[in-house]
Amino acid sequence: MDAHTFLPPGTAPTQAATRPRLAVHRLPMAHPGDLSALAALFDEGAIEPAQVVAVIGKTEGNGGVNDFTRGYFTQTLMSLLAARLGRPAAELLRELPCILSGGTEGVLSPHYVVFARTGRPAADAAAGPGPGALAIGTAVSAPLPAQHVGRWAQVASVAGAVREAMCGAGIARAEDVAFVQVKCPCVTAARAQAAAAAGHTVLTADSGRSMAAARAAGAFGVAIALGELPDDPALEAAMLVDFERFSRRASISSGVEVEANEVIVLGHSAAWEGTLRMACAPMRDALDIGAVAEALRPLGMDAAPQLRPADAARVAAVFVKCEPDRRGRVRGTRHTMLDDTDINAQRHIRGAVGGMVAGVLGDARIFVSGGAEHQGPDGGGLIAVIAHTA
C-alpha cells in the first residue's frame, strides 16, 4: 500500500491502553471518492472504524466555492464509516471533523490523513515523564447561521470549540497546543437569500469574499482560545484589515460543504503515550524555505538541502497555509498572481509553495491550503509537521 501508517511497535489496535495513543495514517486516493486505502486498513485489522476521530485531506478540485470534490469525499467517508459502525451517516457528520482543502496544483498529490485514537483519556490516568506525546481533541460547533459568518459570533463559536477540543484532548495549557485546524462554513447565494427571507443581513453575499471573512474569523477564534489575542469584540473591526494580528498555530479553511465550525486541536500531553510529535513554524513569505527547516528542527531533522530518506520516512503528515501577498510583491519584486484572470491566485500560490515544501521533504503528499488571512505573517503563512521520533 502506497501510504505511511504510524502505529507504535508492539501495540495492537484493539489493545487496552492505560493512556490514550494517537496513530496517523497518510493514505493515497485515486479520485475524490476513493476510500479504498482506509477500507483496506479496516479489513486488515490495522485500525478499527470506531478509532477514527478526524480526517484532514487534499482533493483534486479547484479549491473554490464550487469545489464539490470536498463534499464527495466527505459523503463517501461517512458512508464507509456508517456501514462499518452501524450508525447513520448524518449522525457521524455532526461528530467527526472531515476537513478538506481542494486544489492539488503542481506536484501536490491527492491524499488524506486519518487520525485514529486507541485508548481513552481518563481523569485518573498516570501522566508520564517529559513533555508527553502528541494528543488530539476535536469539536464541532452548533450550525453557524449565514448572518454570523465572518462576524464576532463566529469568532466566539470557534474559540469555544477550540477550548472544548483542548479539554477533550487533555491539554490544559495553551502553550502545549502545536496546531489547530478549522473548517468553517461560507455564505452561498442560497444561504444569503434564506437569511434575507428570515430578516437577517449577511456580511457579504459574495461567496468568495465570505470564505475569506470566515477564515479571518476562524483565525481570530483560535488566537483568542490560545491567548494570542484578547477576547475583545471590538477586534471585529480588525479582521481583514489589521494583518499584524494573527495566530501562529491556526490553519483555517472554508467551504460550502459544512454548516458548522469543525475543529481539530493537536498538541502534546503527558497524559498521552506514543512516539508522535508535532512542530509548527510561521512563514514570512512564499519563499521562506527556512521556515520548513525551522519546523523540522524540533523534531530532530535537518534538511541539507533535502531530508535524508531515513528522516523523510519518519514524517507522518505535513500541513501548510499560504497566500499570494496582497501587496503584489514578494521580497521587493512584483508578482502577477492577483492579476491573472485565467488562473485563480490561490491556485498559483498552492502550486508554488507546495513545490518548495515538497522539494525540501522529498515528498508531494502535503496539505497546502491557500487563504492565510491572520494565519501566520501577512503574505506568508505557516507550516506544521507531524513526525515519528527517531
The catalytic site residues sit at 183, 253
Cβ proximity of 74 and 112 under 8 Å: no
Which ranges of 226-375 does DSSP label H, i.e. alpha helix?
289-296, 309-312, 345-361
Q: Which three cell numbers stand for residue 25?
A: 495514517
DSSP for residue 143:
P
How many residues are there in the chain?
Answer: 390
Give DSSP secondary structure letters for 21-85: EEEEEEEE-SSTT--HHHHHHHHHTSS-GGGEEEEEEEESS-SSTT-THHHHHHHHHHHHHHHHH
**What does the CA dihedral 299, 369, 210, 286 come to, rounded to 10 degrees?**
90
Would you tell me the crossing angle of helices 207-225 and 152-169 to the nearest 10 degrees?
Answer: 50
Q: Which residue has the cell 521587493?
A: 332
Give the Cα separation of 57 and 110 in Å (integer): 8
Q: Which residue has the cell 481583514?
A: 240
Give the Cα separation of 272 and 127 in Å (integer): 7
Give DSSP secondary structure letters for 158-203: HHHHHHHHHHHHT---GGGEEEEEEEEE---HHHHHHHHHTT---S
CA 374 to centroid of chain Cα atoms = 15
